[in-house]
Amino acid sequence: ISAVRSTGIQFIINGPMCDEPDAPMGYYWAYKNEFVVCQENRVKGLGHQQKEVRWTAEDLDTLRHEAHHVVQDCMNQNYRDGELGAVYSDPIQLAKNFLSTDTLSWIINEGYAKEDDHTKVMEMEAFAVAAMNDPLEQVRDIQKFCF
């Protein structure tokens, strides 16, 4: 969280947008300079009054996934413009190494079915990095690529 905040991105936990129908577990939105985690055990319906609750494994996975999108956004020449670039030389192989075939199938055919191939690859890489579960490497990546 500190590494993300050090980039100047506004880090939000359980903001009012988390009460929207079909709210995601989290997101990084470059254009609003926002990184949001909607905690799994939050009390819904509190809007701005919602407080941070105890972090679950899913919350931490969301944090790692969205943090990787920040790094991906630092990979192109127009730094943090929402155009994500691969951090790893072979993101598809990375995904195959860390994700199950069911997860890969879900990304391609369900979760991101309407997205273009580039977005699907960026999502595969982000899911794989989250599954790697190495937050210190992610902090180093933010420091290396985002400054």
Mean pLDDT, rounded, for 121-144: 98
pLDDT at 44: 81
With a cut of 80, say whether residue 135 has pLDDT above it: yes
Question: Could you tell me the pLDDT band of residue 35, with boundaries at 50, 70 and 90?
Answer: very high
Q: Indicate whether 48 pLDDT > 70.
A: no
Share of the chain above pLDDT 70, in %: 99
**Residue 95, φ and ψ in degrees, nearest 5:** -60, -40
Residue 130 has pLDDT above 80, yes or no: yes
What integer best gives the mean pLDDT of the chain?
94
- Strands 10-13 vs 26-29: parallel, antiparallel or unpaired: unpaired
In whole angstroms, what is the distance from residue 133 CA to residue 61 CA?
8
pLDDT at residue 88, rounded to an integer: 97
Q: pLDDT tens across 56-102, in order?
A: 999 999 999 999 999 999 998 777 899 999 999 999 999 999 999 99
Q: Classify residue 139 by burial, with Cβ atoms within 10 Å: 0-12, 13-18, 19+.
A: middle
Would you say residue 47 has pLDDT above 90?
no
What is the per-residue pLDDT for 24? 93
User: If pLDDT is split at 50, 70 and 90, which confidence band does 50 have?
Assistant: confident
**Encoded tokens for 100:** 């199950």
Give the Cα separation of 106 and 93 in Å (integer).
17
| pLDDT for position 78 | 73
